[in-house]
Chain A
């Protein structure tokens, strides 16, 4: 174990170097460009054995990753925002073919209007593609999560997206503890693909036409395998904790034991909210935080158990569903809590779209308001767009 200083992008590129995949096919996009750039340097300096395929688009990036993974390689890529949107079609194909590809992603808003800063609309827009999703709160977690996600992906044959917040994490220098290369290699082990298109002894047709008579069974089998991801994740995260001393649950609770209210959010905002909770605790206010880290698959029972104990919860969503019903975390959490024995009053704060800054005073306001909800015993405003001009 050694300690170095790295930005989120550098941390992710460093994890990729230590994973040393067979193929990386990628296309640069702000704010994830550095990941591809730094990795190219590792290739140019012979620090990895990877074939780096500098494709002409994100669509081709993931298409080439699918080809490389079908050929039996350990495969990774990196993207953000529009790049993930351009990959959208192939996300489903990678997952449907059970290819454990891992994407090091930086969350950035989707155009229009065009904007390069953070929100979660890119990955939230790909929730149904069949990829595991991990949202990280800082560089350390991004580094650790890429290594964990790769192992989970390969064990479950489910591809994974590990994401950080644009600029807030991707470009911020932080203290980072890294494993030795050999430790990472020992942890992930040698990749043994379930099948290979380069297996000449047993020629197969991959990605055939699958009609009304078989498609549904194959989809059902994929859904079934997807349901095993959380269990595998819990096991691998535990193994990783034993190795590194850092444990990352699918759902994190912070100072929730005796709390009446909590914020439920993700990413770097959760780290900011921890600071706010510490301050509130000093004032004797019983407030906590629940951080969603894995949003695909949904840790349903964990969410039910964690949120069920509060009187009120404010979800903070960094994207909107355009359903006229708030953000995706709010919508899905309401669904999860529908049959919970104990459930909190639940409100939604959509915040930080296009990188709009979220600071301690914004989060304090949310805690104040959710405290009011408890006092009144009812919700006045179900969905709030936080910090938008003309909204207050």
Chain B
């Protein structure tokens, strides 16, 4: 695995000057991922969304690697086509280089509108890494709910009103859906644990087949927290078991961080405006439900790890 010192010497794949919000975790994650990939030729694709919009405003680009943007719901299919052309051209001797492919999408482009495209690309076993930068809502259009939005979170289409306390449904477990495809590698990560993310990118790109990393990416305006708290919140998501970081390969689960004493979920929630209504008197039962759900999912994950490493 590349050390921090080695990483610091590599050419940045995503450079500064783009127009992401201050404190944006997604842009930090992409920068880390491209650094991790950076010792080999890398070609990327991206869904329409925050990261595409803020990094590619013509005539500028923040990308030092080839980037293809097609539409909102199809970066998996698009990159799968690039990878197919690469194999054809390589076979004909028109390309020599060993190229690795990475597709990016937000939770809108991945959990929702692009899920079919992603499922198809993984099933067809294209050798590519798909990264979801999951900021838990449609942030590009202004904080609308997605199927990644957690239970009770306030968004502009699941507002915390006087009758309905935010999103009425639980979040979809996309990582498990992808694991059901039996890819070459799958993981959850978050940029607060950056060496973990970098190690996972290296593993994913080395795997012989499709790989997937779901990166929880806190969003300053969407989640509503001070912009210097991004990495803290990213870590708190792991320390409260809200976002377990784990990986799956060859049928085996491995949980990468098991907090000895998990922090209460409220430590994570109370920093964010999207959950503010839950702290009001009378909503204690919702907090309890959320905590119970996090605990239940953690127990399930522990059992999966145990069952697959027997």
Contacts and interface: CB of A to CB of B under 8 A. Distances in A.
Contacts of B88: 22-23, 49-51, 73
Contacts of B137: none
Interface string B43-55: 1010000001100
A63 B71 contact: yes
Contacts of A57: 116-117, 120
A67 B85 contact: yes
A90 B75 CA distance: 12
B67 A205 contact: yes
Contacts of B70: 63, 66-67, 90, 93, 207
Interface residues of A, number: 42
The residue in B53, B95, B123 that gathers the most chain A C-beta atoms within 10 A of its C-beta is B95
Nearest to A206: B68
B65 interface: yes
Interface string B83-94: 111111101101
B41 interface: yes
Contacts of B307: none
Nearest to A215: B58
A199 B79 CA distance: 15
Contact of B89 (A60, A198, A205): A198
A75 B81 CA distance: 10
Contacts of B116: 56-57, 60
A36 B215 CA distance: 37
Contact of A56 (B41, B91, B92, B119): B119
A49 B91 contact: yes
B87 A67 contact: no
Nearest to A213: B58
What 5 pairs between A and B have smallest CB-CB spacing?
A67-B81, A64-B81, A56-B120, A73-B85, A63-B74
18 contacts: A55-B120, A56-B123, A57-B117, A63-B78, A64-B77, A66-B81, A69-B81, A69-B85, A70-B78, A71-B81, A197-B43, A198-B95, A200-B41, A203-B63, A203-B64, A207-B68, A208-B69, A211-B57
Interface of B: 41, 43, 45, 52-53, 56-59, 61, 63-71, 73-74, 77-89, 91-92, 94-95, 97, 99, 116-117, 119-121, 123-124
